[in-house]
Structure 1
Amino acid sequence: MARNAADKATSIDAQLRMLAPKKLSEDDKLVEYDALLIERFLCILQGLQGDKIRETVQECYELAAEYERTLDPKQLDEIGNLLARLDPEDSIVTTKSLSHMLILANLAEEVQIAYRRRQKLKSGDFADENSATTESDIEETLKRLVCQLKKSPLEVFDALKNQTVDLVLTAHPTQSVRRIRNCLTQLYAKDITPDEKQELDEALQREIQAAFRTDEIRRAPPTPQDEMRAGMSYFHETIWKGVPKFLRRVDTALKNIGIKERVPYNAPLIQFSSWMGGDRDGNPRVTPEVTRDVCLLARMMAANLYYAQIEDLMFELSMWRCSDELRVKADQLHRASKKDTTKHYIEFWKQVPPSEPYRVILSDVRDKLYNTRERSRHLLASGFSEIPDDAIFTDVEQFLEPLELCYRSLCACGDHTIADGNLLDFLRQVSTFGLSLVRLDIRQESERHTDVMDAITKYLGVGSYRKWSEEKRQEWLLFELNGKRPLFGPDLPKTNEVAEVLDTFHVLAELPSDSFGAYVISMATAPSDVLAVELLQRECHVKKPLRVVPLFEKLADLEAAPAALARLFSVEWYRNRINGKQEVMIGYSDSGKDAGRFSAGWQLYKAQEELIKVAKAFGIKLTMFHGRGGTVGRGGGPTHLAILSQPPETIHGSLRVTVQGEVIEQSFGEEHLCFRTLQRFTAATLEHGMHPPIAPKPEWRALMDEMAVVATEEYRSIVFQEPRFVEYFRLATPELEYGRMNIGSRPSKRKPSGGIESLRAIPWIFAWTQTRFHLPVWLGFGAAFKHVLQKDIRNLQTLKEMYNEWPFFRVTIDLVEMVFAKGDPGIAALYDKLLVSDDLWPFGERLRANYEETKQLLLQVAGHKDLLEAYTLKRIRDPSFHSQSGPHLSKEIMESGKSAAELVKLNPTSEYAPGLEDTLILTMKGIAAGMQNTG
């Protein structure tokens, strides 16, 4: 199959075009985007590695594309024969090349979707092409609420300015693709000159080559501080400027429905929180010192961002006319500044003349921001700072005061236009990000608090807390909460685990209270779990106690959650403490691993309904905190669909949700992505509250309950009760190799030993995603559908009615259908053939038969002949052209990796000898890129 390079480039281009089923419109350049990037990459590869590697990579690609069209297993055998002939070094380069081709294809798709969306917005078409049920643009949502649903503009405005969406960022794997994406976006702009186009093309090639030359394998796991820095980069790159830009668009949308007011700068529309450095549940690397470091790091970064912006405001607000209130304050500050000889600025800014009163005010803000940043830097470096409290901003109200003074003065002097410019943006940033940039949640397992309480009660000589009944625990906790005596001193006997928990509470007491958000308790089952945290906060002198949030994850916990919450609200002390507000977190990942996606989804739906009922009965406003992952198996899916399919009355303008994994890059990696993400969350939350989805009919509920029982039984009978399953899982998937990727600081298991139960949700989903079998997502659906259809064929009509009329059921089915579109049992069969022992082959065949049966039943319920036939925009390329190499390379590594003589280094400067293991890791990363997620 050897051809010259020019023929190869043409072949790739032609191959890509053949993958498009129909001729594309003038605007739809996705194939051209793919072709450009792949051609550039192959030319770079040829220049760096020679003709042989280029031909090998291209042949792999062409064989994989042929398999996608024909699904002929012979093509897979040819790929296997081709890869088997490679030496270890060529295996690494070939794998790395295919992985980069997939990343580039993803970028081409992202840029094209953004381009198409922008063209629609220019033409006045606000529909989101990825939406199956609704538009997510904020302007279109407001217009629909007013014009179609007959809500009054004032009613819409009041709901909008009082709603809150809190996005909680968690640790994630990173990708360095932003510069390539930026080049590609500019390259296809219509208003660039030929010279600019040539220069951008050269820049694109530089960035592609730089990415290829970079060792993309983590040689050591990242620390929680590393994860925090990576997460904070999104604030610096996109979120910081994206928030005021988005809020201006909201102002415009309101104006277009007749509201002349702007959204108040202190309206809490969007808030940001983080788990990076605070989530210690099962992660021994998150220590009290780590929590302290990430908080100080975030405060230092916030002050730095404000500091750069305040100087721009000083240049802008040069006016001399001001209110008397501001004039008095400016004179006071000017007189005081003459005595200060410690400033470190250029001469122009040392002494701002009194004739520029706004600059006088803002120069004092600048000085305090400088000191605030430096104090955090000192504390981070040495744990000590001589900068006094009166020289810094200690709380956000103190920070806002001079800015509000400037705003009031400008408005009083007739300069509303100036006040509503960059100053308003700055006020909105301060109100959104505060002095801490993000609020850090703390998460800890309830059993760790029980350990502390047991140590305390034994120290006091009152018995073993661990052995007490729930009633006795509550009685003792409430007695101590109502009392004032200290429970323990420095002489309390402590294990390392008990000391770690107490030291964490001491960090909460030491650092500014606005650094923290919620204290989340995993595995919470009883009121005493919450009261214990309240008591520990008091004992460790936390000045402003964190709100305590119980987390319900597994199926049984979700079923028991409403009763547990009712018992908690029955405690008078606690009702007085929370002041009519409570937050509850529900976990999508562990519930799915425990019972399968069907049963978990339905139980999450019912639990929310019941929790809201309990809260209403006690007169308490309940905020649901959704712990969703990035993949469908962990509760992921399109943002607006996820929100609009929640039960009615469960959001009511208050929503918290985790943003995990690659979803952070997909949501905030570029300015337009950040803008779209903020729009989607805001618009969908508003629409859910003002136009709730329909509640399920009684007959729908009955059918769902019946199917959930069958689905759970089917799922657990295979995953937990089938004796061959664990062995098959570990042979047929790269679950055991997941840890070698060093994706995050968290161990892949909660406990070193144990089976599926102890495995975390991410590696569980990751393993099945790699083989394109996606078992945790679909297992149980087929048995449930088959049961109700065999019982009464009329149930098919009921299921179709549910699909067409009930958003929750529609979204559930559509997401599973999307997963089937990404799946390929032929690839899973290849993993079996190469890696699984012969005696387990029948078990794998049984699972694949279940897969096919479930897929057909799902299409029958949805009324579709083919997968994703309802979507007008289908993916033109498929991720599988790398996936097919995965089983072959895995087999090669299993057989060759034991020989030290065969090890070769990808990075010659590394102290490790990765060798063929590098090929395995690069293969897994490449498949994850093609599937667009790890787990």
Structure 2
Amino acid sequence: MHREPRLDRFNDNVLAKYQVYNSIFLTLPYSDIRKTGALLPLFQEICETGFNNNENPSQIVDLFFEKYGENPSEEEKVDLLFRFIQYIERQVVLFDAIEDASFSIVNNMDGRGTLRSVKEEAEAKQKVGELKDYLKRFNVRPTLTAHPTQFYPGTVLGIITDLDKAIQKNDLVKIRQLLAQLGKTPFFKKEKPTPYDEAVNLIWYFENVFYQSASKIHNYIQQNIFDGEDIGNQVVNLGFWPGGDRDGNPFVTTEITLRVAKRLRRTILLNYYRDIRKLKRRLTFREVHELMTEIEKGLYDSAISKSGSIKLTLEDFKSKLLKIKSILIEKHQSLFIEEVDDMLNKVHLFGYHFATLDIRQDSSIHEEVLAEISKLNPELIPSNYNDLNDDEQIKILSNVKGKLDPEEMEEGMMKATISSMFAMQEIQEKSGELGANRYIISNCGSVQGVLQPFAFLKMTGWEKPSVDVVPLFETVPDLQDAHNVMEKLYTNPVYKDHLKRRGNKQTIMLGFSDGTKDGGYLMANWSIYKAKESLTKISREYGIKVVFFDGRGGPPARGGGKTHQFYASLGPTIENEEIHLTVQGQTISSNFGTKDSCTYNLEQLLSSGVSNEIFSNGKNVLKDDDRKTMTELAEISYETYTNFKKHPRFIPYLEKMSTLKYYAKTNIGSRPSKRNQSAELNLSDLRAIPFVGSWSQLKQNVPGFFGVGTAMEKLEKNGEFAKVKQLYDNSEFFRTLLENSMMSLTKSFFPLTAYMKNDEEFGEFWQLIHEEFERTKKMLLKVTGYNVLMQNQPAGRASIQARERIVLPLLTIQQHALRQVQELSKNPENAGKELETFEKMVTRSLYGNINASRNSA
């Protein structure tokens, strides 16, 4: 369909359109916009030339006012810089909308990795039987999380959606109108959102995008691969964290958990209701029409019920649809049968829960709760519990008898934790078991870590809890020990019985972002790979099907990057029948923000599992030599990164020279930016998002590359570079890692902070980072044979460059403001209002930068 190369399609359909629509935006008839719009391109040019001439951000800002200002006062300068920030934010939105509108043109919707190409490849290789067998077992579960890696209020998301449609139709009148609306719509919130607000914002994607895309995929598989037969499997299902993720978020309460579950239920009921109304206009035949009226009324009454009571049970809904289907076949020549099948598939996929609401809490909180229970209820947990050895503790947790009543507890962590488990029971009663059936334990590193919440579930009187207890292994030592922890659980008679009731399936979560923060890029990814191998091996030995749930973020530094390539590269030693992953922030809007991009990316994930299992022919098996090389690289990289982290300037640099402390002021997420509220900054308490985000705002992207260059260079100096090259040629896993690292490097821009090399306190530290950047770039180009980074992804590279160009003035303003803050902080008593103004400027410029890094997905 699209004959020209992808880069040309990108240039013609995204870049060229952006230039046209941006020029409309520049000439909107608002005096402040017109003036800003005229000056911004001039400022952009001065930024570009200034950095080429090694000038610092403040010199660039001064030069601009000297050249184009008419002797402005300090107040006028500040005012214009704030207007530039607002303006650039809206340019980012415009670029997003144009990329969304052109998605199906730039990406080949029937090309490699889509279901159509998978089906054709299976036919060509005579593997249709294997493909069908695999699709009966396989599923993909994207789990939306509210982690604050993007900031767009709902009003702006609505404008992006409308702009996307108007751009597809090239409706200039409408586009102009929407750009005018965008110019007047506020972008930032005065108050932090509540977890319920976050949930409502994200449910919008379920209601308007996933509902259609997931069922479209399911229908395609049923009709084109299974010839209309029932697949007997939910190939796509959905997960949800806002309202259930308590880890480090004191604002998530049991009441909010129940409200979010109710909102999910109400949303899916209304979606069904709208579809049934449409279908009812077609199904006007005798016997059928009456049944449709009953369904319509039952759905409507259930959706508007204040108490949340269900007037039409899910079983009743399904059986009425099946009855309608058989009447259509018997008496009405199967008219509109496909529409009824579509409806049945949706009900099968989303039930009354829409998405599974996961509950998550940190293991340290569970320990606090346990200590409190042993103090108040020694008959449940003996008061000398902490003095006992591991085996004795495990025995007590496994055989808990007795019941707790949250009503009798004082407000606090114990009550919150136990009542969240009662909430899971309530949600299951109203929305079905899939409404909330997973309890995730962050920072889990021991058998007790898994058994504590398991014991709490029993203490709610839930003798046989229909809940999967999911450990989340995050740090490098925890990942290395994970298989030992699981083996002890698999041999524990009580837990073994529990797993049997759960279909002998164990979900295990692995944390990429905290792993990277702890161990650096190569070590984190390699540790997770090896942990998956040893967990797969031990689970298979005990007849347990292990499901890996990956806590992958947006950028490569948080486990993101080209996700489907990553899954396709895993090989047979890693269980890969279900792909569960977290999706957050800008990754939601960039990968799943429209029906086209959502369908395409879900299909890519599905096909990655298929190609890994059915088409790989042993290509993705790591040979022993390559494993040794990978281990060697990871260890050198780990040592390099660990020494870097221990550098006495590491924490002070982040505190003084980056935007770290401003993350807490942005009001983009309900969760505090660190787990512990102590004044002293401690790296282990620091959330991965502000950590990675701060490096990204500095345009240094350290977590995505630090240690990679040193590791490869060391082998080169030992005359062993051929081993690295061989690993790169043989291993798709290693290639994917390096490609994602290249993305981090492509988004780095050291001229922005080059002024720091002359800083008395941090000059040497900046130099250290810059040298590792240059080293990694050089080694990556050498091993890949490329002339430029991301040479194999020209359209992706062009998209990053376009976005980086849009935000360069914003970054310049942010760095200028940070420099002013540092200067004014030397004498805070004389700084007064000025210090406050520049701090506000740093915070405001965070938004646009966060949103612009959307294609880090």
Q: How far apart are residue 625 of structure 1 and its match?
A: 0.6
**Aligned equivalent of 2:137:** 162
- For 1:861-880, list aligned pairs within 5 A: 861-873=783-795, 874-875=797-798, 877-880=802-805
**Aligned equivalent of 1:532:** 452
Distance 1:157 1:399 in 2: 28
Tell me, what secondary structure is at the counterpart of 1:845?
helix
- For 1:487-498, list aligned pairs within 5 A: 487-488=403-404, 496-498=412-414
- Name the aligned partner's letter for residue 445 of structure 2: T
Q: How far apart are residue 52 of structure 1 and its match?
A: 4.2
Residue 601 (structure 1) aligned with residue 531 (structure 2): no
Deviations 1:798-851 (A, max 9, x none): 211221221100000111112111111111324x27xx9522212212221222
Change (3 A) 1:252 1:363: closer
Q: How far apart are residue 595 of structure 1 and its match?
A: 0.7
Distance 2:452 2:161 in 1: 49
Distance 2:568 2:331 in 1: 45
Residue 31 (structure 1) aligned with residue 8 (structure 2): no
Change (3 A) 1:310 1:185: closer
Residue 62 (structure 1) aligned with residue 62 (structure 2): no
- For 1:366-515, list aligned pairs within 5 A: 366-375=296-305, 377-378=306-307, 391-393=311-313, 396-413=314-331, 415-419=333-337, 421-458=338-375, 459-460=377-378, 462-480=382-400, 485-488=401-404, 496-511=412-427, 512=429, 513-515=433-435
Tell me, what secondary structure is at the counterpart of 2:249?
coil
Change (3 A) 1:718 1:261: same
Q: Is the 8 A contact 1:628 1:657 kept in 2?
A: yes
- For 1:640-659, list aligned pairs within 5 A: 640-659=564-583
Q: How far apart are residue 915 of structure 1 and its match?
A: 5.0
Distance 2:43 2:566 in 1: 38
Between stretches 363-372 and 34-43, larger displacement belongs to: 363-372
Q: How far apart are residue 236 of structure 1 and its match?
A: 2.1
In the alignment, which of 64, 67, 74 is matched to residue 82 of structure 1?
A: 64
Distance 2:6 2:278 in 1: 52
Distance 1:522 1:436 in 2: 24
Q: Is the 8 A contact 1:99 1:922 kept in 2?
A: no
**Aligned equivalent of 2:781:** 859
- For 1:578-589, list aligned pairs within 5 A: 578-579=499-500, 580-589=504-513
Tell me, what secondary structure is at the counterpart of 2:12?
coil
Residue 296 (structure 1) aligned with residue 262 (structure 2): yes
Distance 2:621 2:62 in 1: 52
TM-score, scaled relative to structure 2: 0.89
**Aligned equivalent of 1:4:** none
Q: How far apart are residue 138 of structure 1 and its match?
A: 0.9
Identical residues among aligned pairs (%): 23
Distance 1:27 1:827 in 2: 27
Q: Is the 8 A contact 1:244 1:429 kept in 2?
A: yes
Deviations 1:878-928 (A, max 9, x none): 514232332113334556797999969xxxxxxxx9855443233222222
Change (3 A) 1:260 1:695: same
**Aligned equivalent of 2:116:** 139
Deviations 1:661-680 (A, max 9, x none): 11111122212112212211
**Aligned equivalent of 2:476:** 555
Change (3 A) 1:440 1:747: same
Change (3 A) 1:80 1:923: farther
In the alignment, which of 610, 628, 633 is matched to residue 707 of structure 1?
A: 633
Tell me, what secondary structure is at the counterpart of 1:404?
helix
Distance 2:772 2:405 in 1: 60
Distance 1:315 1:100 in 2: 42
Q: How far apart are residue 616 of structure 1 and its match?
A: 0.6
**Aligned equivalent of 2:69:** none
Residue 225 (structure 1) aligned with residue 196 (structure 2): yes
Distance 2:478 2:710 in 1: 24
Deviations 1:449-484 (A, max 9, x none): 23333333342353232333221112123333xxxx
**Aligned equivalent of 1:323:** none
Q: Is the 8 A contact 1:138 1:253 kept in 2?
A: no
Which ranges in structure 1 are unaligned for 5 or more consecutive residues?
Answer: 1-20, 128-134, 190-196, 320-355, 380-386, 905-912
- For 1:658-669, list aligned pairs within 5 A: 658-669=582-593
Deviations 1:146-186 (A, max 9, x none): 31xx2432221221233111111101534325544644554
TM-score, scaled relative to structure 1: 0.82
- Name the aligned partner's letter for residue 863 of structure 1: G
Q: Is the 8 A contact 1:609 1:647 kept in 2?
A: no
Tell me, what secondary structure is at the counterpart of 1:525?
coil
Change (3 A) 1:111 1:160: same
Q: How far apart are residue 548 of structure 1 and its match?
A: 0.7
Deviations 1:177-232 (A, max 9, x none): 5544644554455xxxxxxx5xx212111211212212212211110000000011
Q: How far apart are residue 489 of structure 1 and its match?
A: 5.5
How many residues matched?
A: 817
Change (3 A) 1:83 1:423: farther
- Name the aligned partner's letter for residue 785 of structure 1: M
Tell me, what secondary structure is at the counterpart of 1:279?
coil
Change (3 A) 1:901 1:607: closer
Distance 2:821 2:271 in 1: 47
> Over aligned residue pairs, what C-alpha RMSD do you find?
2.9
Distance 1:245 1:364 in 2: 26
Q: Is the 8 A contact 1:456 1:492 kept in 2?
A: no
- For 1:326-345, list aligned pairs within 5 A: none
Which ranges in structure 2 are unaligned for 5 or more consecutive residues?
Answer: 67-71
Q: How far apart are residue 739 of structure 1 and its match?
A: 1.2
Distance 2:280 2:391 in 1: 61
In the alignment, which of 782, 797, 814 is matched to residue 886 of structure 1?
A: 814
Between stretches 536-545 and 621-630, larger displacement belongs to: 536-545
- For 1:811-826, list aligned pairs within 5 A: 811-826=736-751
- Name the aligned partner's letter for residue 815 of structure 2: P
**Aligned equivalent of 1:522:** 442
In the alignment, which of 649, 657, 677 is matched to residue 732 of structure 1?
A: 657
Q: How far apart are residue 608 of structure 1 and its match?
A: 0.4
Change (3 A) 1:557 1:923: same
Change (3 A) 1:24 1:281: closer
Change (3 A) 1:453 1:180: closer
Change (3 A) 1:162 1:843: closer
In the alignment, which of 277, 280, 283 is matched to residue 317 of structure 1?
A: 283
Q: Is the 8 A contact 2:58 2:816 kept in 1?
A: no
- Name the aligned partner's letter for residue 700 of structure 2: F
Deviations 1:781-805 (A, max 9, x none): 12211222222x2x21221122122
- Name the aligned partner's letter for residue 31 of structure 1: L
Residue 49 (structure 1) aligned with residue 49 (structure 2): no
Distance 2:9 2:192 in 1: 46
Q: How far apart are residue 372 of structure 1 and its match?
A: 1.8
**Aligned equivalent of 1:114:** 104
**Aligned equivalent of 1:335:** none
Q: Which protein shows a greater Rg?
A: 1
Tell me, what secondary structure is at the counterpart of 2:585?
coil
In the alignment, which of 248, 272, 278 is matched to residue 219 of structure 2?
A: 248
Distance 1:773 1:50 in 2: 32
Q: Is the 8 A contact 2:46 2:60 kept in 1?
A: yes
Q: How far apart are residue 629 of structure 1 and its match?
A: 0.4
Change (3 A) 1:749 1:698: same
**Aligned equivalent of 1:756:** 683
In the alignment, which of 278, 289, 293 is matched to residue 363 of structure 1?
A: 293
Q: How far apart are residue 25 of structure 1 and its match?
A: 7.2
In the alignment, which of 793, 802, 807 is matched to residue 727 of structure 2?
A: 802
- Name the aligned partner's letter for residue 216 of structure 1: F
Distance 1:639 1:432 in 2: 23
